[in-house]
Amino acid sequence: MQLSGYEGAPSTRLDATFAALADPTRRALLARLIEGEASVTELAAPFEMSQPAISKHLKVLERAGLVTRGRDAQRRPVRVETKPLSEAAGWLDTYRRTLERRFERLDALLDELQTRPKRGVRRRPRRTPSA
Amino acid sequence: MRPDATMTVDQPTETSLVFTRRFKAPPPLVFEAFTTPALLRRWMIGPDGWAMTVCEVDLRAGGRFRYVWAKPGVPDMGMGGTFVEVDRPRRIVHRELFDADWTGGETTVTTALTADGDGTVMTLTVQYGSREARDGALATGMTSGMELGYARLDEVLAA
Protein backbone atom coordinates (compact mmCIF):
# COMPACT_ATOMS: atom_id res chain seq x y z
CA MET A 1 0.00 0.00 0.00
CA GLN A 2 1.07 3.57 -0.26
CA LEU A 3 1.56 4.38 3.37
CA SER A 4 4.74 2.73 4.40
CA GLY A 5 8.38 2.11 3.81
CA TYR A 6 9.61 5.51 4.92
CA GLU A 7 12.56 4.22 6.81
CA GLY A 8 14.04 3.09 3.52
CA ALA A 9 14.23 -0.54 2.50
CA PRO A 10 13.78 -2.75 5.56
CA SER A 11 17.04 -4.21 6.73
CA THR A 12 18.06 -7.63 5.53
CA ARG A 13 17.47 -8.89 9.03
CA LEU A 14 13.89 -7.67 9.04
CA ASP A 15 13.38 -9.21 5.61
CA ALA A 16 14.58 -12.52 7.02
CA THR A 17 12.32 -12.18 10.05
CA PHE A 18 9.25 -11.40 7.97
CA ALA A 19 10.00 -14.15 5.46
CA ALA A 20 10.46 -16.66 8.28
CA LEU A 21 7.15 -15.64 9.84
CA ALA A 22 5.25 -15.85 6.56
CA ASP A 23 4.52 -19.55 6.99
CA PRO A 24 1.85 -21.12 9.21
CA THR A 25 4.00 -24.09 10.23
CA ARG A 26 6.85 -21.86 11.33
CA ARG A 27 4.47 -19.63 13.25
CA ALA A 28 3.03 -22.70 14.98
CA LEU A 29 6.55 -23.89 15.81
CA LEU A 30 7.35 -20.51 17.35
CA ALA A 31 4.09 -20.52 19.28
CA ARG A 32 5.05 -23.91 20.73
CA LEU A 33 8.56 -22.71 21.57
CA ILE A 34 7.22 -19.68 23.42
CA GLU A 35 6.02 -22.18 26.03
CA GLY A 36 9.52 -23.54 26.44
CA GLU A 37 12.42 -25.18 24.63
CA ALA A 38 11.82 -28.48 22.87
CA SER A 39 13.67 -31.08 20.84
CA VAL A 40 12.96 -31.58 17.15
CA THR A 41 11.15 -34.82 17.99
CA GLU A 42 8.94 -33.05 20.47
CA LEU A 43 8.28 -30.25 18.03
CA ALA A 44 7.40 -32.62 15.21
CA ALA A 45 4.96 -34.68 17.28
CA PRO A 46 1.83 -32.49 16.90
CA PHE A 47 2.43 -31.95 13.17
CA GLU A 48 1.67 -34.32 10.35
CA MET A 49 5.14 -33.72 9.05
CA SER A 50 8.38 -35.65 9.00
CA GLN A 51 11.25 -34.62 11.23
CA PRO A 52 13.36 -33.59 8.22
CA ALA A 53 10.54 -31.28 7.10
CA ILE A 54 10.37 -29.77 10.57
CA SER A 55 14.16 -29.43 10.60
CA LYS A 56 13.95 -27.52 7.33
CA HIS A 57 11.53 -25.04 8.86
CA LEU A 58 13.73 -24.74 11.93
CA LYS A 59 16.71 -23.88 9.73
CA VAL A 60 14.74 -20.99 8.23
CA LEU A 61 13.85 -19.78 11.70
CA GLU A 62 17.45 -20.22 12.82
CA ARG A 63 18.81 -18.23 9.88
CA ALA A 64 16.41 -15.43 10.75
CA GLY A 65 17.73 -15.52 14.29
CA LEU A 66 14.30 -16.44 15.63
CA VAL A 67 15.47 -19.68 17.24
CA THR A 68 18.76 -21.11 18.48
CA ARG A 69 19.82 -24.71 19.07
CA GLY A 70 21.21 -25.88 22.40
CA ARG A 71 24.58 -27.57 22.76
CA ASP A 72 23.32 -30.79 24.28
CA ALA A 73 24.61 -33.13 21.59
CA GLN A 74 21.82 -35.64 21.99
CA ARG A 75 18.80 -33.43 22.22
CA ARG A 76 19.90 -30.09 20.77
CA PRO A 77 16.87 -28.28 22.23
CA VAL A 78 15.40 -25.45 20.20
CA ARG A 79 14.81 -22.12 21.93
CA VAL A 80 12.97 -19.05 20.75
CA GLU A 81 14.86 -15.75 20.49
CA THR A 82 12.63 -12.74 21.02
CA LYS A 83 14.96 -9.95 19.89
CA PRO A 84 14.20 -10.18 16.15
CA LEU A 85 10.50 -10.22 16.95
CA SER A 86 10.88 -7.08 19.01
CA GLU A 87 12.70 -5.45 16.12
CA ALA A 88 9.91 -6.45 13.76
CA ALA A 89 7.36 -5.08 16.18
CA GLY A 90 9.30 -1.83 16.35
CA TRP A 91 9.25 -1.61 12.58
CA LEU A 92 5.50 -2.06 12.35
CA ASP A 93 5.09 0.43 15.15
CA THR A 94 7.06 2.98 13.16
CA TYR A 95 4.92 2.19 10.15
CA ARG A 96 1.70 2.68 12.03
CA ARG A 97 2.91 5.89 13.62
CA THR A 98 3.82 7.16 10.16
CA LEU A 99 0.32 6.40 8.98
CA GLU A 100 -1.28 8.05 11.98
CA ARG A 101 0.88 11.16 11.64
CA ARG A 102 -0.15 11.42 8.03
CA PHE A 103 -3.81 11.21 8.83
CA GLU A 104 -3.38 13.74 11.64
CA ARG A 105 -1.81 16.09 9.10
CA LEU A 106 -4.76 15.41 6.83
CA ASP A 107 -7.13 16.23 9.72
CA ALA A 108 -5.39 19.58 10.14
CA LEU A 109 -5.46 20.24 6.41
CA LEU A 110 -9.17 19.41 6.16
CA ASP A 111 -9.88 21.74 9.09
CA GLU A 112 -7.97 24.48 7.37
CA LEU A 113 -9.73 23.94 4.04
CA GLN A 114 -13.11 24.11 5.71
CA THR A 115 -12.48 27.26 7.69
CA ARG A 116 -10.44 29.19 5.14
CA PRO A 117 -11.27 28.09 1.58
CA LYS A 118 -8.36 29.04 -0.64
CA ARG A 119 -8.11 29.88 -4.27
CA GLY A 120 -7.01 26.93 -6.34
CA VAL A 121 -8.94 24.55 -4.18
CA ARG A 122 -12.12 23.22 -5.66
CA ARG A 123 -14.96 25.59 -4.85
CA ARG A 124 -17.59 24.25 -2.55
CA PRO A 125 -20.72 25.68 -1.05
CA ARG A 126 -19.98 27.51 2.19
CA ARG A 127 -20.52 25.21 5.10
CA THR A 128 -20.28 25.21 8.82
CA PRO A 129 -16.84 24.09 9.88
CA SER A 130 -16.95 20.91 11.88
CA ALA A 131 -15.06 21.14 15.11
CA MET B 1 -21.00 2.00 15.84
CA ARG B 2 -19.04 4.17 13.44
CA PRO B 3 -15.26 4.34 13.46
CA ASP B 4 -13.79 7.45 15.07
CA ALA B 5 -10.50 9.15 14.36
CA THR B 6 -8.65 6.04 15.49
CA MET B 7 -7.43 3.98 12.60
CA THR B 8 -8.43 0.33 12.64
CA VAL B 9 -6.78 -2.50 10.74
CA ASP B 10 -8.72 -5.60 9.72
CA GLN B 11 -7.91 -8.76 7.76
CA PRO B 12 -11.14 -9.75 6.02
CA THR B 13 -9.45 -12.27 3.74
CA GLU B 14 -6.09 -14.02 3.61
CA THR B 15 -4.77 -11.62 0.99
CA SER B 16 -6.06 -8.26 2.10
CA LEU B 17 -5.82 -5.61 4.77
CA VAL B 18 -8.46 -2.99 5.49
CA PHE B 19 -7.68 0.31 7.17
CA THR B 20 -10.60 2.37 8.43
CA ARG B 21 -10.55 5.92 9.72
CA ARG B 22 -12.98 8.77 10.11
CA PHE B 23 -12.30 12.35 9.03
CA LYS B 24 -14.16 15.45 10.09
CA ALA B 25 -14.88 16.68 6.59
CA PRO B 26 -17.39 15.68 3.90
CA PRO B 27 -16.44 13.14 1.21
CA PRO B 28 -15.90 15.70 -1.60
CA LEU B 29 -13.23 17.47 0.44
CA VAL B 30 -11.54 14.25 1.56
CA PHE B 31 -11.58 13.12 -2.07
CA GLU B 32 -9.85 16.37 -3.07
CA ALA B 33 -7.22 15.86 -0.38
CA PHE B 34 -6.56 12.32 -1.66
CA THR B 35 -6.25 13.26 -5.33
CA THR B 36 -4.97 16.84 -5.67
CA PRO B 37 -1.16 17.07 -5.81
CA ALA B 38 -1.03 20.44 -4.02
CA LEU B 39 -2.99 18.93 -1.15
CA LEU B 40 -1.32 15.52 -1.20
CA ARG B 41 2.04 17.23 -0.74
CA ARG B 42 0.74 18.71 2.49
CA TRP B 43 -0.10 15.47 4.23
CA MET B 44 1.07 12.37 2.37
CA ILE B 45 4.58 12.67 3.68
CA GLY B 46 6.61 10.41 5.87
CA PRO B 47 8.17 10.90 9.28
CA ASP B 48 10.03 14.13 10.08
CA GLY B 49 12.77 14.85 7.60
CA TRP B 50 11.01 13.35 4.60
CA ALA B 51 9.58 15.52 1.83
CA MET B 52 7.43 14.62 -1.12
CA THR B 53 9.50 15.65 -4.12
CA VAL B 54 7.37 14.20 -6.92
CA CYS B 55 3.59 14.09 -6.89
CA GLU B 56 1.97 13.57 -10.26
CA VAL B 57 -1.64 12.49 -10.58
CA ASP B 58 -3.54 11.81 -13.80
CA LEU B 59 -6.89 11.18 -12.19
CA ARG B 60 -8.87 9.07 -14.64
CA ALA B 61 -9.32 5.37 -15.30
CA GLY B 62 -6.12 4.28 -16.99
CA GLY B 63 -4.29 7.41 -15.81
CA ARG B 64 -1.02 7.07 -13.95
CA PHE B 65 0.35 8.53 -10.75
CA ARG B 66 3.83 8.85 -9.38
CA TYR B 67 5.04 9.76 -5.89
CA VAL B 68 8.62 10.15 -4.70
CA TRP B 69 9.75 10.97 -1.18
CA ALA B 70 13.23 12.12 -0.28
CA LYS B 71 15.29 12.58 2.83
CA PRO B 72 18.89 13.82 2.88
CA GLY B 73 21.40 11.03 3.27
CA VAL B 74 19.17 8.09 2.37
CA PRO B 75 17.93 6.77 -0.98
CA ASP B 76 14.72 8.26 -2.34
CA MET B 77 11.61 6.18 -2.01
CA GLY B 78 9.29 6.07 -4.96
CA MET B 79 6.06 4.41 -5.93
CA GLY B 80 3.59 4.68 -8.72
CA GLY B 81 0.71 3.01 -10.42
CA THR B 82 -2.43 3.25 -12.47
CA PHE B 83 -5.97 4.31 -11.64
CA VAL B 84 -8.49 1.58 -12.40
CA GLU B 85 -11.65 3.37 -11.36
CA VAL B 86 -12.37 6.96 -10.37
CA ASP B 87 -15.82 7.68 -8.98
CA ARG B 88 -15.73 11.16 -7.46
CA PRO B 89 -16.23 11.56 -4.53
CA ARG B 90 -16.98 8.03 -3.45
CA ARG B 91 -14.39 5.63 -4.66
CA ILE B 92 -10.94 5.28 -6.17
CA VAL B 93 -9.41 1.99 -7.23
CA HIS B 94 -5.77 1.94 -8.22
CA ARG B 95 -2.91 -0.50 -8.67
CA GLU B 96 0.38 0.46 -7.11
CA LEU B 97 3.92 -0.74 -6.76
CA PHE B 98 6.80 0.57 -4.69
CA ASP B 99 10.07 0.92 -6.57
CA ALA B 100 11.65 -1.29 -3.92
CA ASP B 101 8.74 -3.75 -4.25
CA TRP B 102 8.55 -4.61 -0.59
CA THR B 103 4.92 -5.74 -0.99
CA GLY B 104 5.73 -8.78 -3.14
CA GLY B 105 4.33 -7.39 -6.36
CA GLU B 106 1.60 -4.98 -7.28
CA THR B 107 -1.22 -4.32 -4.83
CA THR B 108 -4.71 -3.15 -5.69
CA VAL B 109 -5.95 -0.40 -3.40
CA THR B 110 -9.59 0.62 -3.08
CA THR B 111 -10.27 3.88 -1.30
CA ALA B 112 -13.95 4.18 -0.37
CA LEU B 113 -15.33 7.38 1.14
CA THR B 114 -18.70 7.23 2.86
CA ALA B 115 -20.56 10.22 4.29
CA ASP B 116 -20.97 9.87 8.04
CA GLY B 117 -22.84 12.78 9.60
CA ASP B 118 -20.68 15.82 8.95
CA GLY B 119 -17.68 13.63 8.32
CA THR B 120 -16.36 10.83 6.16
CA VAL B 121 -15.44 7.27 6.89
CA MET B 122 -12.51 6.17 4.77
CA THR B 123 -12.11 2.48 4.10
CA LEU B 124 -8.81 1.63 2.47
CA THR B 125 -8.65 -1.94 1.20
CA VAL B 126 -5.27 -3.25 0.12
CA GLN B 127 -5.40 -6.42 -1.94
CA TYR B 128 -2.05 -8.21 -2.08
CA GLY B 129 -0.94 -10.57 -4.80
CA SER B 130 -0.68 -13.52 -2.44
CA ARG B 131 -1.12 -14.52 1.13
CA GLU B 132 2.65 -14.52 1.56
CA ALA B 133 2.82 -10.92 0.39
CA ARG B 134 0.08 -9.88 2.78
CA ASP B 135 1.60 -11.84 5.64
CA GLY B 136 4.95 -10.26 4.95
CA ALA B 137 3.32 -6.88 5.37
CA LEU B 138 1.63 -8.04 8.52
CA ALA B 139 4.26 -10.35 9.95
CA THR B 140 4.16 -8.81 13.36
CA GLY B 141 0.41 -9.18 13.45
CA MET B 142 0.95 -12.89 13.25
CA THR B 143 3.32 -12.81 16.18
CA SER B 144 0.42 -11.27 18.05
CA GLY B 145 -1.73 -14.18 16.92
CA MET B 146 0.85 -16.47 18.46
CA GLU B 147 0.12 -14.87 21.79
CA LEU B 148 3.65 -13.77 22.33
CA GLY B 149 2.35 -11.25 24.75
CA TYR B 150 3.56 -8.19 22.95
CA ALA B 151 0.89 -5.83 24.20
CA ARG B 152 2.07 -3.28 21.69
CA LEU B 153 1.23 -5.58 18.81
CA ASP B 154 -2.22 -6.17 20.17
CA GLU B 155 -2.67 -2.42 20.24
CA VAL B 156 -1.46 -2.18 16.68
CA LEU B 157 -3.97 -4.69 15.42
CA ALA B 158 -6.90 -4.12 17.73
CA ALA B 159 -6.84 -0.33 18.00
In this structure, what CATH number is given to the domain that contains residue B13?
Answer: 3.30.530.20
The pTM of this model reads: 0.60
Chain B positions in Cβ-Cβ contact with residue A31 (cut-off 8 Å): 146-147
Q: Using the beta-carbon criterion (under 8 Å), do B69 and A99 form an inter-chain contact?
A: no
Write out the residue range of the structural domain in which residue A56 sits: 12-81
Is B60 inside a domain boundary?
Answer: yes
Chain A positions in Cβ-Cβ contact with residue B26 (cut-off 8 Å): 127
Residue A11's pLDDT is what? Answer: 56
Which pairs with CB-CB distance under 8 Å and at least 24 residues apart come from B54-61? Answer: B54/B78, B58/B83, B59/B35, B59/B83, B59/B86, B60/B86, B61/B85, B61/B86
Say which range, A75-79, A96-100, B34-38, B150-154, has the weakest mean pLDDT: B150-154
Q: Using the beta-carbon criterion (under 8 Å), do A88 and B139 form an inter-chain contact?
A: yes
Is A51 inside a domain boundary?
Answer: yes
Q: Is A13 on the interface with B (CB under 8 A)?
A: no
Quickly state the pLDDT bin for B149 (edges 50, 70, 90).
very low
Chain A positions in Cβ-Cβ contact with residue B28 (cut-off 8 Å): 122, 124
Question: Does ipTM surpass 0.85 in this model?
Answer: no
Is B95 inside a domain boundary?
Answer: yes
Statement: residue B150 has pLDDT above 60: no
> Considering CB atoms only, which of B29, B77, B141 is closest to A6?
B77
Write out the residue range of the structural domain in which residue B84 sits: 9-130
Q: Using the beta-carbon criterion (under 8 Å), do A122 and B140 form an inter-chain contact?
A: no
Q: What CATH number is associated with residue A44?
A: 1.10.10.10
Closest CA to B111 of A105, A1, A48, A35: A1
